[in-house]
A = this chain, B = another copy of it.
Amino acid sequence: MIRVVLASRNAKKIAEVRRILDQAGAPIQLIGLSDLEVEVTDVPETGATFAENALIKAQSVVDQTGLPALADDSGLTVEALNGMPGVLSARWSGAHGDDVANLNLVLNQIADVPDERRGAAFVCAVVLVVPGAEPQAAEGVVTGHLLREPVGENGFGYDPVFVPDGYDITTAQMSADQKDSLSHRGRALRALARAL
């Protein structure tokens, strides 16, 4: 069992990642940044890709704590926005972490986009950095399309408007187990767990 810091203060995300890793049998005891006694400073996520940002975040936690660190970077890529918000998904509206503002901005921006051009995908890159070892990375993708109004109360971020291919409900209408089984973060984390 290895103690790993997840580079996040988002309680929902920490719970989700812990649940997925446990179910995948990963030998990881996960803690969040808020569980540390040392204060970890956030670094700017200046990467042009999800994998670059995940590596930047994990490496920064390792540098500041000396502990193994796991980071993910994920987001929504929208066809009618040329693949954005992408790496800027969590700060699309300018305010970092304001899920409602970010989601409403995307809906407003593509309000006039017809149904056949509302394709989107959730993409997640995860990177595990253990001091003295090569970083391990994995990626997961779920394709789907965007609704015009939010539906569902579960999940977070853009979940209430995203309908995965093959479903007729949003990821915010799914149970945690159902969402994990198909989600971009679940796919990336299970790929990483297999590699460990």
A82-B84, A84-B84, A86-B82 known; A91-B114 Cβ under 8 A: no
Contact across chains for A46 and B113 when beta carbons are under 8 A apart: yes
- Cβ of A105 within 8 Å of any chain B Cβ, yes or no, is yes
Q: How large is the interface on A (under 10, 10 to 19, 20 to 34, 35 or more residues)?
A: 20 to 34
Contact across chains for B117 and A48 when beta carbons are under 8 A apart: yes
Q: Give the copy number.
A: 2
A112: chain B residues at CB < 8 Å are 44-46
Minimum CB–CB distance for A138 against chain B, Å: 24
Minimum CB–CB distance for A76 against chain B, Å: 13
A80: chain B residues at CB < 8 Å are 48
CA distance A117 to B49 in the complex (A): 13
Q: Which residue in chain B gives the minimum CB-CB distance to A46?
A: B112
A94: chain B residues at CB < 8 Å are 104-105, 108-109
- Cβ of A81 within 8 Å of any chain B Cβ, yes or no, is yes
- Cβ of A146 within 8 Å of any chain B Cβ, yes or no, is no
Minimum CB–CB distance for A150 against chain B, Å: 15
CA distance A33 to B109 in the complex (A): 25
Starting from the known contacts A46-B112, A82-B82, A88-B109, 16 additional A-B residue pairs (CB-CB under 8 Å) come to A44-B112, A45-B112, A46-B113, A48-B117, A81-B84, A81-B88, A82-B83, A82-B86, A84-B84, A91-B109, A92-B109, A93-B105, A94-B108, A94-B109, A95-B108, A105-B105
* 23 residue pairs bridging A and B, Cβ less than 8 Å apart: A44-B112, A45-B112, A46-B112, A46-B113, A46-B114, A48-B80, A48-B117, A81-B84, A81-B88, A82-B82, A82-B83, A82-B86, A84-B84, A88-B109, A91-B108, A91-B109, A92-B109, A93-B105, A94-B104, A94-B108, A94-B109, A95-B108, A105-B105
| Ranked 7 nearest A-B pairs via Cβ | A94-B108, A82-B82, A44-B112, A82-B83, A46-B112, A82-B84, A84-B84
